[in-house]
Amino acid sequence: MPGGKLLSIKLSYGSKIEKIQILGDFFLYPENKITEIEKALLDTPITESEDDVAARVKKAVNDNNIELVGITPEAIASVIKMAVVQRPGG
Amino acid sequence: MAVDEAIAEQVRKNKVSPTIRFYKWAPSAVSIGYFQSLQDEVNLAKCKELGIDYVRRRTGGGAVYHDNKGEITYSVIAPERLFPKGIRESYRVICQWIIDGLGLLGIGAEFMPINDLVVHGKKISGNAQTRRDGVLTQHGTILYDLDVRTMFSVLKVSNEKISDKMIKSVEERVTRVLNYKSVSQDDLYNALLEGFTRGKEFSFDSLTRSEDIDARRLAKEVYRSEAWNAMR
C-alpha cells in the first residue's frame, strides 16, 4: 500500500465467502468497526467483480462512518480477488 | 496499554487534564496493532523463552519490539478538539514534538507520513493514534538502542515488506539515537520532555486513584486476556 502499509486477507470460501479477516498494519477508525466491513463481505459470491466487492466495502465504510488511513476499499477488493484466484476452491 | 485507556477515560470525563506520559516496558514486550494477527506477527514460543511480554494495542499500525533498555515510549491523551480534525494532520503535530526533542540533541528527524519519523531515511520512531468518545490517544516509541537479534527472534518480519522496500535487513531501515549522539537515556528523556512541553503549561503528577484502579482492572480484564490478545 502507499505509505508502506501491509494488508492481508484470510478467507475461507466455497462459491461464496464464508469467513473473512482483514489484517495488517493500517489504521481504521473506529477500530472495532472493522467487523462491519468483514460482515458486509460475508456471502459475497467469489465470482463477483472486483468493482462490486469494492462497492460493498465502500457501503460498509459509509454506513458505519469508518475512516480508512493507509488502506482503501479498492485495495481490500483487489487482495480478496487475488486470494480467490491464487487458491481456487479454497 | 491499560494505563493509556484508564487515563483516556478520565480525560473523557473531564476529571484530569490532557496528559503526556513517558514510560518504558518492564519486562521488554512486543506490541501488535489492533488489526494484526498475534500468531502471524509474534513468535510466542520465543517470547515465553526470553520472558518477553506481548500485548495487542487498541491502535492500528504494526508490531513493535519494545526493549526495556532500548527505547522511550510516550503517550499523549487529550480532548480531540485540541488537535487538528484530520488524523494525518494530528500525527504531524505530535510528531513535531519528537522532532523538536531530537533536534535539541542535534539529531535531524523528519516526519514520514503516515506515522513514522526518519533520520536520513531510516525509521527512528513509530507512532499510532486512536480517537474514541472525543478523546485522542497517540502513543509511540523513540529508539535509543537496538537489540536486532532479539527483535528478529520475537517478531515474524514479513518478507513482503522487506522486499517491497528493497532492503536487506532491519539495520538498513531502522536507526537509533545512539547512532548519532552518545547521550544517556536521561538526556534523551529530558530532550523529549522539552520538545513535548515547550510553550505549554504543565505539572508533573502520578496516576490518580481512579486511573490506577481502572488501569489494573483493564490490564486484568482486557490487555492480559487471550480473548483480547488473540482476537485476530
CA distances from A71 to A76, B88, B91, B149, B194 (A): 7, 13, 17, 31, 34
Tens digit of each residue's pLDDT (9 = 90 or more) over B28-78: 999 999 999 999 999 999 999 999 999 999 999 999 999 999 999 999 999
Q: How many residues would you count in chain A?
A: 90
Q: In terms of CA atoms, which chain B residue is nearest residue A3?
A: B114
Identity of the residue in B60, B113, B164 whose CB atom sits nearest the CB atom of A25: B60
Residue A88 confidence (pLDDT) above 70 = no
Tens digit of each residue's pLDDT (9 = 90 or more) over B110-153: 999 999 999 999 999 999 999 999 999 999 999 999 887 888 88
Residue A13 lies in a domain: no
Residue B220 confidence (pLDDT) above 90 = yes
Tens digit of each residue's pLDDT (9 = 90 or more) over A22-68: 999 999 999 999 999 999 999 999 999 999 999 999 999 999 999 99
Q: In terms of CA atoms, which chain A residue is nearest residue B33?
A: A25
Torsion angles phi and psi, residue B61, rounded to 5 = 95, -170
ipTM for the whole complex: 0.92
CA dihedral B218, B224, B230, B231 (to 10 degrees): -10
Residue B159 confidence (pLDDT) above 60 = no
Identity of the residue in B34, B113, B114 whose CB atom sits nearest the CB atom of A31: B34
CA distance A74 to chain B (A): 18
| Residue ranges making up the domain that contains A76 | 27-86
Q: How many domains does chain B have?
A: 1
The two beta strands, B135-143 and B122-132, are antiparallel
Q: How many domains does chain A have?
A: 1
DSSP B27-95: S-EEEE-TTS-HHHHB-HHHHHHHT-EEEE-SS-S--EEE-TTTEEEEEEEEEGGGS-SSHHHHHHHHH
| Residue ranges making up the domain that contains B198 | 2-229
Residue A6 lies in a domain: no
- Domain with residue B224: its CATH number is 3.30.930.10
In the block, cell 506477527 appears at B41
Beta bridge partners of A21: A10
Residue A5 lies in a domain: no
Q: In terms of CA atoms, which chain A residue is nearest residue B39?
A: A23
Q: Which residues contact B108 (CB under 8 A, 6 or more apart)?
A: B102, B119
CA distance B206 to chain A (A): 29
What cell numbers appear for B72 in the block? 522511550
